Chains A and B, each alone.
Chain A
């Protein structure tokens, strides 16, 4: 086999981690569709929480880490928002302390 076809780098996670908050409508298949999209786009879960809101929608909070593919959490959020019955997907994290004037 020629050099061109050999893997040119070790398949290692780049260490991209993050938390996403995803709001889902309460419709069959939406939860598994969202979780599956996250895995298929190259991320592992570190933590998953899902709770129902008073309006009937669900808040899905996931802590994820990349598995070595191209990692871009903004793109992942857009891919999640592309799914029907996903209301929104956004990165969340510790807020910086407001700087004093």
Chain B
């Protein structure tokens, strides 16, 4: 197959009377024309022509991270904090392969990012040349779309289409692989591309909306099950309005946190493997599940055929391929979540009648299982009870910066990630940036710096673990280089906590290769990167530590020693029903 054909198909106009420009310059001008202001990147041989002209484009700020994976994850953090499309650059070969984890992360969490990789010259492609890999082929399963540039005249149209595809519909990563000779080539031609959006329905069909409303009127125990699609579909306001109007209780996935404020009266909490009891019980007992922007992920559902066993299902999602994929539905509304949520009005502007008993059951369970932070801290004393620390941290950050919305919290992956989800306060989805689908250790620090650069007016806190932070600790140098005021809370239990927990519970306490008692002194490491840092060893030091963390200007790291035996509860064993929650 050739690339030339697509221009015919798209009725390409070839303009030949333009000023000659290199592929590199066309690339950067086209990126700038998309409104991009920040690129996270790392130069190398094959992408040097692009870096050679980068200083000419004054509107593009380049952030030099210290590893390509850091570049990619910073671009994800930037995209998630701003709602705009992120951009990351890397060179060919190892530079490109180092990006792959970030590309996969963006794919699984549906984050719009355009990744640009340098490539060896066209005449060397396929010869196993130095620093040559087939990054186009390697990333096919984890991109929304990808290109190899064969002609510099394609670049303006291709870049415009790449940014369009990354952001439209269900967002995702797009890769542009740019051979070095194409980057260097001069051209007077510009192939104009005409983006061709796939024909997608704007919203659910009217009979499906009517069916959904009928199901809602019939239900005695209805429940909203919301996910990351609410925020990505710009449906937060419509969801809140619908919940206020109908007064139906709500549970959320990890990615849906913040779609309703954590203290909203209808909100029961996160469902799933580490979900709250009230949320999981509500799902198991509801007779109607109204799924909005969620995809029946296994971490949310547990054993699928035991999930919401009595419930009829209404499923709203912009990606029609998610509807009926894992759970047969009774009413399906594809297209815009924002429009679908706004269109539903089952009770003629009023609340759902006849669900008072159901609401009372849900809310009484929520109260019954409320966390006893002080009691748990008293038991852990003088050690630090991490859930209480995170609970206090997020409330105090919000109180201290009361002119802002709540702080943005990014996190890594493991026990601390679940504690953040369970115990921190979020009043907008953008407040919580986590690697939900891929579960990427090493995500939190670069995502945090990307978020802070994208939203400099916000307080951004990265919560990490001693296992995770070591996977991208080099990005402390990026914080220092640009003076990025990221606040890092490093919960250090000197073990790979979540793996250790599973070994304790499911593998007869066979603690194989999970001890990290040879960790470095993290405060000293941070200081070596010229970042302010201090250690909290006991519960008595926590309040002062949080104060210092929040009041420090510039990057700061609070290293907190916590109990290695503290686990995340509740826990639904893999392959079991969400009703089978284990407690300590």
Contacts and interface: CB of A to CB of B under 8 A. Distances in A.
Contacts, number: 73
A40 B104 CA distance: 15
Interface stretch (B115-123, B215-223, B522-530, B573-581): B573-581
A36 B143 CA distance: 12
A15 interface: no
Interface residues of B, number: 33
A88 B136 CA distance: 23
Contact of B6 (A5, A27, A74): A27
Contacts of A32: 137, 140
A54 to B, nearest CB: 13
Contacts of A2: 505-507, 573
B141 A25 contact: no
A32 B146 CA distance: 12
Interface in B1-41: 1-3, 5-6, 8-9
A51 interface: no
A56 B6 CA distance: 10
Given A28-B148, A70-B326, A4 B506 contact: yes
B136 A29 contact: yes
B402 interface: no
A84 B144 CA distance: 8
Interface in B385-444: none
Interface string B495-518: 000000000011110000000000
Nearest to B136: A29
Interface in B44-68: none
A39 B512 CA distance: 34
Interface string B67-110: 00000000000000000000000000000000000000000000
Interface string A45-85: 00000000000101000000000001010110011011111
B324 A5 contact: no
Contact of A29 (B146, B165, B576): B146
A86 to B, nearest CB: 9
Interface of B: 1-3, 5-6, 8-9, 136-137, 140-141, 144-148, 150, 165, 198, 319-321, 324-326, 505-508, 573-576
- Considering the complex of A and B, which 6 residue pairs feature the smallest CB-CB distances, nearest first? A78-B321, A4-B573, A26-B5, A84-B145, A79-B321, A27-B6
